[in-house]
Amino acid sequence: MLNTKMLKLAAADDNLDSLTEAAKLLQSGELVAFPTETVYGLGAVYNSDQALAKVFQVKGRPADNPLILHIWSYQQLDLIVKEVSPKYERLMKEFWPGPLTLIFPKKEAVSYLATAGLDTVAVRMPSHPIARQLLEITDIPIAAPSANLSGRPSPTKGEHVFEDLNGKIPLIIDGGACEAGLESTVLTIYSEHPVILRPGSITKEMIEATLQEVVQLAMPDQADKPQAPGMKYRHYAPKAAVTLVEGENTKVVAKINQLLAELDNVKRVFVLGTAENEAKYHCTNFLNLGSQAKPGEVAARLYDLLRRCDQLNAELVLIEGVSAKGIGVAIENRLRKASGGNIINVS
């Protein structure tokens, strides 16, 4: 078992020496967990099959689940992608650095381990200052899926990474809580219309406004050979069973209260709901997702609260669905994955 070091950083600019240590580990083929604006990533240099294989091994990640390569400069794109379309140039100008991942045709230099055997590669340019500086010092594109055990809620704090990967990797850079709290939006244009393979905080509406055309949303459960992470397997799930209740708000609250009454003999039932409905639930084990008026707040809190359910030894988690508009599409996507398909619709 490795001795996992936790390195706490408040900002990147004053910690060059610390990040140089992390960069040297990456360059030598080791794994380093680091913060991004979305979730914490488990980094490995893209040009080492041995390092990439460690990512899958440490996470227990299925081999057909592709990785996202992270870059800090446009020059690094030339190392890994064959071409950049005019549409992608517009999107990169608008949203990079930021939480948007684009699917490109890959160059031969990109290992099929990183792409799950596909001829395309997922790439993004993060905006988090620690991530950017680490990428610049390392000076090699870094593959970085979420720094958690596969299937678990993604880590949005350094301690989340430690919970899952202590003893499995040499270094965790703890930069505090992630701002967005949900993984990046993943987009492909290699079809009749641009398609969002995984929704995130860069919304369908934002992309349509930039491209001035219709953008479609992929059906994740139909992806036999997924082009992007999060499309095929159960993800983001606590250890407890999860039931998601979707539909009109008052009916959702009523249905959850009905379930609570039927489950009176189950002691460790928790409700994840919005602040506006807290007083309406007949439950003492309530965890506040945030306000319905602030979906970004809900997104930022979600994974932390799912992990909190594990810390509190929950047996069952009942979750109030959110409005599937804007970033709510991404939140609902994660909730559906966490439920493993155990969804009640009361519309």
Pairing assessment for the beta strands 216-217 and 316-320 based on DSSP bridges: unpaired
Residues 115, 189, single domain; the answer is yes
Q: Is 344:243 a contact under the CB 8 Å cutoff?
A: yes
Residues 204, 282, single domain; the answer is no
226 pLDDT tier (thresholds 50, 70, 90)? low
Residues 97, 158, single domain; the answer is yes
Cβ count near 206 (within 10 Å): 18
Mean pLDDT on 81-95 = 97
Mean pLDDT on 114-118 = 96
pLDDT at 224: 53
pLDDT at 229: 60
Q: What is the DSSP letter of 146?
A: B
**Rounded Cα gap, residues 152 and 259, in angstroms:** 25
10 pLDDT tier (thresholds 50, 70, 90)? confident
pLDDT at 18: 83
Mean pLDDT on 68-95 = 97
In a domain, 234, yes or no: no
Range with the lowest mean pLDDT among 11-15, 212-216, 242-246? 11-15
> What is the percent of the chain with per-residue pLDDT over 70, rounded to a whole number?
94
**pLDDT greater at residue 29 or residue 284:** 29
Domain endpoint, select from 189, 222, 255: 222
pLDDT at residue 222 is higher than 70: no
Highest mean pLDDT: which of 173-187, 219-233, 259-273?
173-187
Mean pLDDT on 264-284 = 91
pLDDT at 190: 78
In a domain, 164, yes or no: yes
Cβ count near 167 (within 10 Å): 9
CA angle 41, 75, 174 (to 5 degrees): 20
Cβ count near 345 (within 10 Å): 13
Half-sphere exposure of 212 (CA within 13 A, CB side): 3
Arithmetic mean of pLDDT over the chain: 93
**Rounded Cα gap, residues 41 and 304, in angstroms:** 16
3-state secondary structure of 78: helix
Residues 218, 332, single domain; the answer is no
Residue bearing tokens 């509406």: 205
307 pLDDT tier (thresholds 50, 70, 90)? very high
E runs forming strands in 46-181: 68-70, 100-105, 120-124, 142-143, 171-174
Mean pLDDT on 331-337 = 95
Residues 102, 151, single domain; the answer is yes
pLDDT at residue 1 is higher than 90: no
pLDDT at residue 108 is higher than 90: yes
Residues 177, 271, single domain; the answer is no
> What is the percent of the chain with per-residue pLDDT over 90, rounded to a whole number?
87
Q: Is 256:271 a contact under the CB 8 Å cutoff?
A: yes
Residues sharing a CB contact under 8 Å with residue 20, sequence separation 6 or more, in sequence order? 137
The number of distinct structural domains making up the chain is 2
Query: Domain containing 77 — which CATH number?
Result: 3.90.870.10
CA 23 to chain centre: 23
pLDDT digits (tens, 9 = 90+) for 35-77: 999 999 999 999 999 999 999 999 999 999 999 999 999 999 9
pLDDT at 107: 97
Domain endpoint, select from 222, 251, 278: 222
263 pLDDT tier (thresholds 50, 70, 90)? confident
Range with the lowest mean pLDDT among 79-88, 149-158, 211-220, 267-276? 211-220
Query: Domain containing 258 — which CATH number?
Result: 3.40.50.11030
pLDDT at residue 238 is higher than 60: yes
Residues sharing a CB contact under 8 Å with residue 93, sequence separation 6 or more, in sequence order? none
Residue bearing tokens 């099959």: 49
Tokens of 25: 């580990």
Cβ count near 119 (within 10 Å): 11
Pairing assessment for the beta strands 316-320 and 241-246 based on DSSP bridges: parallel
pLDDT at 16: 77
**pLDDT greater at residue 290 or residue 224:** 290
Q: Which domain holds residue 288?
A: 241-345
- Reported pTM: 0.94
Residues 197, 266, single domain; the answer is no
102 pLDDT tier (thresholds 50, 70, 90)? very high
Residues 17, 135, single domain; the answer is yes
